[in-house]
Amino acid sequence: MSDPDAYIALVSSLPSSERLFVAKQPPLSELRLRKRLSALDEDDAKTLHRIEHILSWASYDAQAEIGEVVKRARSLLRNLPQPTLRAIVADRMELRSAIAALRMRRDGMAAPSGQWGFGKWTRHIAANWSDPTFRLDAPLPWLREAGSLLEAGDALGLERHLLEIAFRQLQRHGGLHHFDFEAVVIYVLKWTLFDRWAASDAQAAARRFAQLSDDALQDFPDLMLEGGTG
């Protein structure tokens, strides 16, 4: 049984995590975060680890089968007693399934059949495969922009868009929790979004710098010819 006072102290010790895309770095280092999370009791620590593993943002980049990810998520949900945490996992898995569908269609794949994804929209998506947003503009208003960014090949823009959606989902669930285990999980998942964006932004900056350097080097021989040897 977790100690409520310990969790109040834990949450109170965590700096704000409300400035995604504004702050350049997460509000505290991973080392400091993990040190503070040592206050969790053993069962809650294991639950947090499982949730982090299932929702790991790196999974969006991997070529993992969506079916395998869904299978692991369903196993987690069967053993997750907190309704808010179940809703958080379900929201993220529906997001992941919709993005997987966009990618499958972009790659020329036919509409999937069977239990290919997670959530209430999978059959609807398959039945409306040719529609740009699978006719889900009302319940999933973010899907149109996600599809446009994917088709344009704007990987950084798409990642920012998806991180923002995930952040808003956590904000919505966080309004009901302040000093309990759910609040801790929500904070950690927000921290993960910050960390992911900081890494992506740095990588994008490095790529832009490399491209500018390559362009300059390509022009260098011409500049030498124009300058002559004196």
HEC letters along the chain: CCCHHHHHHHHHCCCCCCCCCCCCCCCCCHHHHHHHHCCCCHHHHHHHHHHHHHHCHHHHCCCCCHHHHHHHHHHHHHCCCCHHHHHHHHHHHHHHHHHHHHHHHHCCCCCCCCCCCCCCCHHHHHHCCCCCCCCCCCCCCCHHHHHHHHHHCCHHHHHHHHHHHHHHHHHHHHCCCCCCHHHHHHHHHHHHHHHHHHHHHHHHHHHHHHHHHHHHHHHHHHHHHHHCCC
Q: What is the pLDDT of residues 163-184, one digit of tens each?
A: 999 999 999 998 889 999 999 9
Q: What is the pLDDT of residues 119-165, one digit of tens each?
A: 999 999 999 999 999 999 999 999 999 999 999 999 899 999 999 99
| Rounded distance between C-alpha atoms, residue 227 and residue 107, angstroms | 48
With bands split at pLDDT 50, 70 and 90, how would you rate the model's confidence at 56?
Answer: confident
Single-letter code of the amino acid located at 82: Q
Would the pLDDT of 62 be above 60?
Answer: no
**Which among 54-63, 110-119, 131-140 has the top mean pLDDT?**
131-140
| Rounded distance between C-alpha atoms, residue 209 and residue 98, angstroms | 33
The separation between the first and the last C-alpha atoms of the chain, rounded to the nearest angstrom, is: 82
- Measured at the CA of 89, the angle between CA 3 and CA 18, to 5 degrees, comes to 70
Q: Which sequence spans correspond to the domains of the chain?
A: 41-227
Q: What is the pLDDT of residue 107?
A: 92
Q: What is the pLDDT of residues 12-55, one digit of tens each?
A: 999 987 777 887 788 899 999 999 999 999 999 999 999 999 99
How many residues are given for the chain? Answer: 230
- Whether the CB-CB separation of 84 and 177 falls below 8 Å is answered with yes
- Whether the CB-CB separation of 17 and 27 falls below 8 Å is answered with yes
